[in-house]
């Protein structure tokens, strides 16, 4: 249950993240935003552990190769996702990127030999059907627009594979290292890798206080979301985490509906179709079935 709650926290934070990023894009370019998120996340962790537990920073002396690989894969995920949004648009990208958690679920059953019960399998099937229903209109758009089947899709698929690779390494690293100690490398290395892409002239401009608050919140979102994700890997199976994470686009669309109902127009938003609501219910129902009713009875 602890692992499920931690993974749910990640899903909620990622669900609202897309909306916050969309607002931030009104003022900064994608790469500057990504770098700033990693920079704030790294700075927050380094500052905290410098005073709270300096021994955690010892990971910087000789970081394990697996951590370095995980950090590079996560950086690749960010680059691929941003390029996907750039070339294919956010709707198509949001569909394709969900192959990452699916790959993670498959890894859980095949590599980590996690138990696949009939109840879990049915839950995955129901959630998958709901997921397809939820994105019915977007899937139609993907098949009807030639520009969606271009390099943007390939970039996004690369991002999804990179994320599943990062998650695979993270699942093994949490068996030996503290989740936040892993994140010290996972956040720090991409902050260095993205440095040449940052447009510092944008960061030096004068903005209202709430814009800077938004940017800092994006960085802290990274700390908490990936911190809870790493901790979740320590307490529960990868396949359970994957199906919870798949729910984050549902959270995004529900949040957009709330903004529409409140007539908050930070950017152009369209209402979600009834088919999408039905799909969302199936996703939630399948998730409950897969993670809530499949516990092995103890005799």
d(CA 108, CA 257): 34
Q: Give mean pLDDT, residues 94-122.
A: 70
What pLDDT digit, counting tens, does each position of 229-266 carry?
Answer: 778 877 877 667 777 777 777 777 777 777 777 776 66
How open is the CA angle 163-153-82, to the nearest 5 degrees?
60
Q: pLDDT digit string (tens) for 137-156?
A: 555 555 555 555 467 778 88
| Residue 116: both structure tokens together | 């696949």
Q: 282, 127 in Cβ contact below 8 A? A: yes
Q: Which residues contact 248 (CB under 8 A, 6 or more apart)?
A: 10, 11, 12, 14, 15
| 3-class DSSP state of 185 | helix
Q: Which two tokens stand for residue 35?
A: 């770098």
Question: Does residue 260 contact residue 230 with C-beta atoms inside 8 Å?
Answer: no
pLDDT on residue 3? 83
Cβ 289 vs Cβ 129: under 8 Å: no
- Confidence class of residue 298 from pLDDT cuts 50, 70 and 90? very low
Confidence of residue 199 (pLDDT cuts 50, 70, 90): very high
Q: Residue range 85-103: average pLDDT?
A: 67
pLDDT at residue 297, rounded to an integer: 42
**Is the whole model's pTM more than 0.85, yes or no?**
no
> Cα(162)–Cα(152) distance, rounded to whole angstroms?
15
What average pLDDT is seen over the chain? 79
Residue among 73, 123, 109, 67 nearest 237 (CA): 109
């Amino acid at each position: 249950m602890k692992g499920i709650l931690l993974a749910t926290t990640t899903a909620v934070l990622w669900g609202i993240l897309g909306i916050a990023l969309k607002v931030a894009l009104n003022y900064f370019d994608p790469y500057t935003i990504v770098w700033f998120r990693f920079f704030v996340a790294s700075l927050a962790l380094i500052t905290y552990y410098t005073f709270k537990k300096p021994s955690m920073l010892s990971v910087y002396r000789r970081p394990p190769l697996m951590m370095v690989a995980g950090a590079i894969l996560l950086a690749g995920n960010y680059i691929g996702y941003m390029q996907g949004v750039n070339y294919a648009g956010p709707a198509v990208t949001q569909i394709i990127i969900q192959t990452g958690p699916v790959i993670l679920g498959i890894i859980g059953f095949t590599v980590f030999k996690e138990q696949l019960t009939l109840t879990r399998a049915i839950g995955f099937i129901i959630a998958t059907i709901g997921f397809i229903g939820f994105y019915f209109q977007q899937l139609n758009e993907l098949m009807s627009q030639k520009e969606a089947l271009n390099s943007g899709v390939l970039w996004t698929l690369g991002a999804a594979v990179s994320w599943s690779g990062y998650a695979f390494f993270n699942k093994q690293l949490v068996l030996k290292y503290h989740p936040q100690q892993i994140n010290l490398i996972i956040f720090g290395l991409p902050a260095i890798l993205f440095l040449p892409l940052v447009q510092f002239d944008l960061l030096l401009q004068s903005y209202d206080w709430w814009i800077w608050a938004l940017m800092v919140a994006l960085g802290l979102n990274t700390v908490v979301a990936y911190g809870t994700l790493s901790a979740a890997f320590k307490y529960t199976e990868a396949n359970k985490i994957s199906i919870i994470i798949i729910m984050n686009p549902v959270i995004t669309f529900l949040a957009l509906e709330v903004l529409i109902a409140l007539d908050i127009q930070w950017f152009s938003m369209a209402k979600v179709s009834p088919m999408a609501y039905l799909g969302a219910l199936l996703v939630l129902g399948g998730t409950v079935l897969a993670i809530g009713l499949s516990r092995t009875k103890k005799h």
